[in-house]
Amino acid sequence: MTSQVDSFALTDEEHDLLPSDSDVQFYLEHGWFLSPRIFSDAEVDLLVTASEQFYAGHRDRVLPVRPARLAYWEPSAGAVQRHNDYIHYESAAIGEILRKPLIGAIAARLAQADAIRIFQSTLIYKPAQPAEETNIVPWHFDRHYWATSTSERMLTAFLPFHDCDEEMGTITMVDGSHRWQEIGGNDATSRHFADRDRTQLEEMLRENAEANGTEVRKVPMIIPKGHVSFHHCRTYHGSGANVSDRPRRAISLHLQDGDNAYREFKLSDGSQVSYNHDVLVRRQADGTPDYSDPEYCPTIWRG
């Protein structure tokens, strides 16, 4: 079975939803973009239904092995924030919606790329429990965790399953931070935010803003149902507690341009950094992981 898409045609109506030149310029300056409505109520409601089936134990297929850093909530973890990686692989219904060519075409316009592939997808459920510590996502940017990727144009689409605002702990961007010259990078920055001290991450954000002669300007994404926010792989972002009376449901869809490939990346002690894909994807002729493997990294747009 393959996840590869063979047709990337858009309808006339979908063409009208692509970012304009001014939208692309905004993304390049600010590091984020809020799309118009690109998913119907029926598509989003199907994501809810399929996610509930997934939480109840349904899998269309399962990963052949579990990578060491796999985020994979199971009921035994309790009422914490749920993260489940590779949802596009394990759920056929969700995977089909995430491979919608329009989302790839929008990403291609923003990243100025000829092709877009899925890099990772994470199903997220933030319970309506304001005091739950796992609900707080500290400041970070995604490129830190993709050290084995060559591209600097990767981006993430955040797709909530409902209207999403500050009350629900929506994703919040640090405006323009993707253009900062980073200081203080070290071995620790390649570790996931869940493995790092939140106070240290807050201080790292402040120090980087100061070093770049600017202030931290936080922009909460107010996302209506069916709309999607996009952000650059170097845009600092995070999210607060869900203080509403209902769970915040979403998918974080990480996207790679067609030029992205695996590279070897070592820490200061000589140890090799690895990404979850590295034990899953097929091998290239030289034996290195192939980040264009259609089973795990399907192409969703080719211009």
Query: Which parts of the chain sit beneath pLDDT 70?
Result: 1-6, 185-196
Residue 193's pLDDT is: 55
Residue 186's pLDDT is: 61
How many Cβ atoms are within 10 Å of 173's Cβ, its own excluded?
25
CA distance 214 to 72: 37
Q: Give 83-115 pLDDT, tens digit per residue.
A: 999 999 999 999 999 999 999 999 999 999 999
Residue 160's pLDDT is: 98
Residue 2's pLDDT is: 46
For 110-172, the DSSP string reads HHT-SEEEEEEEEEEEE-S-TT-GGG-EEEE-GGGG-TTB--S--EEEEEESS-B-GGGT-EE
Q: Give 180-228 pLDDT, tens digit per residue.
A: 998 876 655 555 555 567 788 888 899 999 999 999 999 999 999 999 9
* Average pLDDT of the residues of the chain: 93
What is the pTM for the complete model shown?
A: 0.93
Residue 1's pLDDT is: 45
Task: Name the nearest CA neighbour of 234 among 300, 166, 145, 108.
Answer: 145
